[in-house]
């Protein structure tokens, strides 16, 4: 059991860290724009809030609570509409921002004490929670990551089989290949005679594990994936806050406005997706 938990923890930590690196997502835009304003505390709270939402989605995805998906699916278009409005609101707010580096320390000190205790966490949480497509995204990425780790012969406690079943069930619920893994999974597999034999041995060991094991390893994977995400965004925020004064203030303002526009486009895309789902 200890070997399984260490494996799952390390895999989750690396997955959360690496998969958070692309800076094109809404939460990355929120963190970057606020870090350029010098709001380190806000960025940290927003990161924790977003990671809390990730934890919920990842746990549901890997543990296989597909019954929740059947209940949640009809509501997804309406959640997307709310998410779209929220993203556009944040985008407009960011676009209107104008940085004054000479007085930013005074302003941010006051703002952080008054607003950031609650606002950062709630904004980060809502930004990810109001984007139900993250569920499919985390399920797909977890399928490839855990399949790859399992094909290397490492013991995942049966998590690879659990996620594979979840993928099949989601595709069955949707009536099509929402998650198409048949073509891509071969690129992530390193099966050999040795790894196949080890996988069979692992399955025999896993059959003797306690009944609560699936819940435990699902929580462990989701928790450390969220922690990996927090670590990445913390150091990204720290780097941007530390070196922002070396960038011309006009350049910073242009970058922030561009990020705000991108966030608005994300909102428009979510709204478009919601309308498509409502018309189907």
pLDDT digits (tens, 9 = 90+) for 74-105: 777 888 888 888 888 888 888 877 665 544 44
CB distance 156 to 4 below 8 Å: yes
pLDDT at 185 over 60: no
Report CA 242 to chain centroid distance, whole Å. 25
Residues 137, 92: Cα–Cα separation, whole Å: 26
12 Cβ contact partners less than 8 Å away, ≥ 6 residues apart: 220, 221, 222, 223, 224, 225, 227, 228
Mean pLDDT, the chain, whole residue set: 76
Output the six-digit token pair for 75: 């509501």
- The residue-averaged pLDDT of 220-230 equals 92
Residues 140, 178: Cα–Cα separation, whole Å: 10
* Residue recorded with tokens 């242009």: 254
Instruction: Give pairs for 30-34: CB < 8 Å, separation 24+.
Output: 30/90, 30/123, 30/124, 30/127, 30/263, 31/233, 31/236, 31/237, 32/236, 32/240, 32/255, 32/259, 33/94, 33/97, 33/255, 33/256, 33/259, 33/260, 34/237
Burial class for 156, CB neighbours closer than 10 Å (0-12, 13-18, 19+): buried
* Residue recorded with tokens 């109001």: 130
- The residue-averaged pLDDT of 149-161 equals 72
Q: What is the 8-class DSSP label of residue 49?
A: H
pTM of the model: 0.76
Residues 221, 10: Cα–Cα separation, whole Å: 9
Instruction: Pick from 1-5, 25-29, 197-201 the range whose average pLDDT is largest.
Output: 25-29
List Cα–Cα distances, 187 to 15, 101, 145, 161, 184, in angstroms.
Answer: 17, 48, 11, 18, 6
Q: At 223, is the pLDDT very low, low, confident or very high (cuts 50, 70, 90)?
A: very high
Residues 116, 59: Cα–Cα separation, whole Å: 28
pLDDT the model gives residue 225? 93
pLDDT the model gives residue 129? 87
Q: What is the 8-class DSSP label of residue 191?
A: -
Please state, for a pLDDT cut of 90, what percent of the chain lies above it. Answer: 10
Burial class for 198, CB neighbours closer than 10 Å (0-12, 13-18, 19+): middle
CA-based nearest residue to 26, from 41, 46, 40: 46
Output the six-digit token pair for 89: 């609101």
- The residue-averaged pLDDT of 102-120 equals 49
Q: What is the 8-class DSSP label of residue 213?
A: H
Residues 107, 104: Cα–Cα separation, whole Å: 5
């Amino acid at each position: 059991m200890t070997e399984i938990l260490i494996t799952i923890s390390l895999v989750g930590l690396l997955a959360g860290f690496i998969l958070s690196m692309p800076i094109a997502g809404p939460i990355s835009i929120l963190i970057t724009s606020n870090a350029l304003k010098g709001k380190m505390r806000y960025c940290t709270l927003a990161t924790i809030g977003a990671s809390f939402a990730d934890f919920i989605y990842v746990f549901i995805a890997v543990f296989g609570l597909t019954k929740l998906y059947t209940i949640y699916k009809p509501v997804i278009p309406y959640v997307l509409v709310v998410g779209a409005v929220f993203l556009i609101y944040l985008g407009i707010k960011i676009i209107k921002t104008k940085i004054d580096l000479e007085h930013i320390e005074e302003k941010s000190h006051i703002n952080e004490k008054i607003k950031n205790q609650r606002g950062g966490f709630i904004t980060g949480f809502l930004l990810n929670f109001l984007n139900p497509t993250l569920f499919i995204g985390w399920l797909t990425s977890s399928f490839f990551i855990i399949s790859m780790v399992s094909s290397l012969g490492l013991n995942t406690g049966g998590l690879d089989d659990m996620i594979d079943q979840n993928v099949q069930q989601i595709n069955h619920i949707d009536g099509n290949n929402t998650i198409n893994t048949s073509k891509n999974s071969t690129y992530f597999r390193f099966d050999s005679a040795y790894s196949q034999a080890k996988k069979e041995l692992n399955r025999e060991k896993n059959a003797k594990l306690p009944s609560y094991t699936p819940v435990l390893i699902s929580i462990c994977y989701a928790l450390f994936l969220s922690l990996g995400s927090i670590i990445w965004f913390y150091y990204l925020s720290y780097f941007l806050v530390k070196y922002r004064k070396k960038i011309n203030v006009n350049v910073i303002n242009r970058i922030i406005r561009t990020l705000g526009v991108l966030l608005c486009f994300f909102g428009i895309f979510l709204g478009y997706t919601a309308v498509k789902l409502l018309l189907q």
